[in-house]
Amino acid sequence: MDQSIFLLVKDSQDDCKDVIRHRDGDLKVRVYCLSKDKYELDPSELQFYGNDNGELLAFETIGYDGSDPLLVIEAIRWYADYIDNPKMEIMAEKPGVSGPGHDKFFFN
């Protein structure tokens, strides 16, 4: 199986506004540092969350067409390796959100 190649677009003004891009496709995932960034969930996009050694991160697709959701997870795993946190837990729900319809799914 071929390994996907991802690129990182960095904001020179804010090191917490990264965008992960799939080199061979249209997938883009924006990274938000929830302690620093104002973040409003876009219901038409996929969201995942991760904990980078105490810093809660949100990952949200940009213009996602619904194809290959596992590629989104692969992109986030790549980012976790990039930030030197390969064991970062990837969650489908924001930690602390509970109740009906808020089951947590973990991807390690």
How much is the pLDDT for 71? 96
Q: Give bridge partners of residue 44 from the DSSP assignment.
A: none
How much is the pLDDT for 101? 45
* Amino acid type, 2: D
Residue 28 has pLDDT above 50, yes or no: yes
How much is the pLDDT for 97? 52
Question: Which token pair is 20?
Answer: 């992960």
How much is the pLDDT for 2? 64
CB atoms closer than 10 angstroms to residue 27? 22
